[in-house]
Amino acid sequence: MCHQSATVCLVKSPALAGAAGTPLVERLRLLPDPRRRRGVRHPFVAVLLVAASAVVAGARSYAAIGQWSANAPQHTLVRLGARAVGALSVRVAPSAATIRRVVGLVRPGSLADLAGAEPAGSDSVAVDGKTACGSRHGTSPAAHLLAAMTGDGRTVTQLQVPGRTNEIICFTALLEPYDLTGVTVTADALHTQRGHVRFLVEDKKAHYLLVVKANQPELHRRLRALPWKDVTARRYDREIGHSRRETRVTRALTVTGLGLDFPHAVQAARILRHRTDLTTGKCSRQTIYAITDLTSHQASPERLGQLARSQWTIENRPHFIRDTTFAEDASKIRTGHGPENMATLRNLAINTLRAAGHHNIAAGNRHTSYEPFTRPLDLLGIA
């Protein structure tokens, strides 16, 4: 967990607007070098590119990144812009200690912005938090990261939640740098806040779909009291996977004029989920309420169900993949900004592999590892 002030932890990239659509190398050059000038030997961007390339190739730790760097051939180091020495301009790779120091010093909010996907034009963006369990050290809690992800599984950015606070104060800082015009932002019940809704609709010209639970007791009570049994606008979805059968029934109701007392609220949705474990036969049932500013012409029950599901998939895409493929929860990186910056590099690797057409990230990692000193650079667009 970040023990600095919230002002320091929530700093984002001031140059993000001019970086959209530019290659990764050019975007990283916008980052300020956090090192003291005295004793600096390796180019700042080259060290970051080494770390990014190694993670795309499957490296999970500083030691693995350092080993990849130490074994990188000259042609790879030239492409990465590594330090040249002597009359023959022999390229020297940064050591694991140098990589650890640089990654731990980089301002995490700016790196996440510049290494992430652009949300403009996306159908939806889901916001959710994840704790890097392995970063817990002694009495210091683990780093908790709030992230935004597009509907097609690309991470936009992330931000570490400052110590002694929660995700709520990070929501606007996370999304502020981006053009969200026409994008529907989804989030769990913690972010069902009036201030968040006004920020999205009035400032960012975006739409929202937010889950409502007991943290908004009066709103939740009023939603439960709506005449759901009389609603004819409904959608049934059925699927089988992961050893379970699930049926979802989504009902939508226009709530304009019903006095829900929530900014820009136009529709409410009730999603009833029936699950059957095909192994044990155990059945479960869950009812979820959500609220949105989308009209019935903009979002049918089918569309609302898809938006709600896109929120759930953020846990099954980058969060789950970072834990299983990159062993994030087992990582013992704890010092400086290392936990959040390594998470950003993992997000970059996932985005890059998805852009290359790899639906299975573990398989994409294996494919890249067969030519570890050329394929990662090609995927990252490093000439």
Query: Which token pair is 157?
Result: 């950015």
Look at residue 327 and tell me whether its pLDDT is greater than 90: no
pLDDT at position 294 = 96
pLDDT tens digit string along 69-80? 999 999 999 999
pLDDT tens digit string along 256-287? 888 888 999 999 999 999 999 988 999 999 99
| Percent of the chain topping pLDDT 90 | 70
pLDDT at position 315 = 64
The chain-wide mean pLDDT, for the chain, equals: 89
| Ordered DSSP codes for 157-202 | EEEEPBTT--GGGGHHHHHTTS--TTPEEEE-GGG--HHHHHIIII
CB of 161 closer than 8 Å to CB of 146: yes
Contact partners, residue 369, CB within 8 Å, separation at least 6: 57, 58
Residues, the chain: 383
Cα distances (Å, whole numbers) of residue 241 to 99, 235, 246, 284: 41, 20, 8, 16
pLDDT at position 333 = 85
Q: Which range among 2-16, 53-67, 247-261, 313-327 shows the weakest confidence by mean pLDDT?
A: 2-16
The mean pLDDT value for 169-176 works out to: 93
pLDDT at position 8 = 44
CB of 121 closer than 8 Å to CB of 286: no
Look at residue 121 and tell me whether its pLDDT is greater than 50: yes
Look at residue 314 and tell me whether its pLDDT is greater than 90: no
pLDDT at position 7 = 44
Look at residue 15 and tell me whether its pLDDT is greater than 70: no
Q: Report which secondary-structure segment, H or E, holds 144.
A: strand 143-150
| Percent of the chain topping pLDDT 70 | 93
pTM for the full predicted model: 0.89
- At 312, the pLDDT band (50, 70, 90 cuts) reads confident
> In terms of DSSP H, where are the helices of the chain?
6-9, 24-28, 44-56, 62-71, 74-80, 96-105, 108-115, 171-175, 194-198, 217-224, 301-314, 320-324, 338-355, 361-369, 375-380
- At 9, the pLDDT band (50, 70, 90 cuts) reads low
Q: What one-letter code names the amino acid at 65?
A: I
pLDDT at position 5 = 40
- The DSSP call for residue 2 is B
